[in-house]
Chain A
Amino acid sequence: TQLLEQSPQFLSIQEGENLTVYCNSSSVFSSLQWYRQEPGEGPVLLVTVVTGGEVKKLKRLTFQFGDARKDSSLHITAAQTGDTGLYLCAVRPIQLGRGSTLGRLYFGRGTQLTVWP
């Protein structure tokens, strides 16, 4: 079973459109990260969300962490061709008695976004 479910798996839109992608789980996390990966490259961190209900903005990208810290969404306003890529969410599960930020990341399978001119 997949710890993180990302939807949609694929998204193809025209430049200028808005979109939202989702990352869901039945587990609670101390933090959640969003990465973007371009073909032939490694993932690049976009943002880390920590507090339930938190909203972070990065230019045209808006990230939200669910109140219960089980899910997150990424909204892109007025998409551009440069936004094309694989969007991945990742977490470190809460370890009882430890607030460590070290250790492995668990990744979702990602949303492949293609923005057409």
Chain B
Amino acid sequence: NAGVMQNPRHLVRRRGQEARLRCSPMKGHSHVYWYRQLPEEGLKFMVYLQKENIIDESGMPKERFSAEFPKEGPSILRIQQVVRGDSAAYFCASSSGRETGQGGNEQFFGPGTRLTVL
């Protein structure tokens, strides 16, 4: 039973290039979350998606960043015209979306993609 998968694990881009980060949620999970982690800031929420829908994108920069979770295939976080400040670890998490009364609906995290912008 595979966990959340992310690829690539490491990505190097030059300024101005595009970065595409992929996330395959756990089997049976239809909710995906993207977070960014910087050493000085900790883990910050970016976007929450369900299949074919963006539920909450309030944590994602308005420009250059976009996310999708198509009916078929992995969720994609896309960063256009990358800048040095985009260098960070990007984590994807998935959940079943089943509500519980005990603070459940656990989010399972992938191993992350470490983006380095030269």
Most buried by A among B4, B48, B99, B105: B105
User: Does B110 lie at the interface of the complex (its beta carbon under 8 Å from any beta carbon of A)?
Assistant: yes
A48 touches B106 (CB 8 A): yes
CA distance A99 to B103 in the complex (A): 9
With contacts A44-B109, A104-B56 known, is A109 near B102, CB below 8 A?
no
A40 touches B41 (CB 8 A): no
Which residues from A are CB-within-8-Å of B101? 99
When C-beta atoms are compared, the residue in chain B nearest to A6 turns out to be B42
B110 touches A108 (CB 8 A): no
User: Does A50 lie at the interface of the complex (its beta carbon under 8 Å from any beta carbon of B)?
Assistant: yes
B103 touches A106 (CB 8 A): no
With contacts A50-B102, A104-B48, A109-B42 known, is A41 near B56, CB below 8 A?
no
CA distance A59 to B51 in the complex (A): 38
CA distance A77 to B28 in the complex (A): 37
B4 touches A42 (CB 8 A): yes
Chain B min CB distance to A74 (Å): 16
Chain A min CB distance to B34 (Å): 10
Encode A62-73 as 1/0 by CB contact (under 8 A) with B.
000000000000
Which residues from A are CB-within-8-Å of B22? none
Contact of B109 among A43, A99, A102 (CB under 8 A): A43
CA distance A31 to B41 in the complex (A): 22
Most buried by A among B41, B42, B105: B42
CA distance A33 to B43 in the complex (A): 14
Which residues from B are CB-within-8-Å of A105? 33, 35, 43, 45, 107
User: Does A101 lie at the interface of the complex (its beta carbon under 8 Å from any beta carbon of B)?
Assistant: yes
Shortest 10 CB-CB distances between A and B: which pairs?
A31-B103, A42-B109, A101-B105, A109-B42, A104-B45, A107-B43, A50-B103, A48-B103, A43-B109, A42-B91
- A30-B103, A43-B91, A45-B108 known; 4 new pairs, CB 8 Å cut-off, are A101-B103, A104-B56, A108-B42, A109-B41
Show the binding face of A for B, using Cβ within 8 Å: 30-33, 40-45, 48-50, 88, 90, 99-110
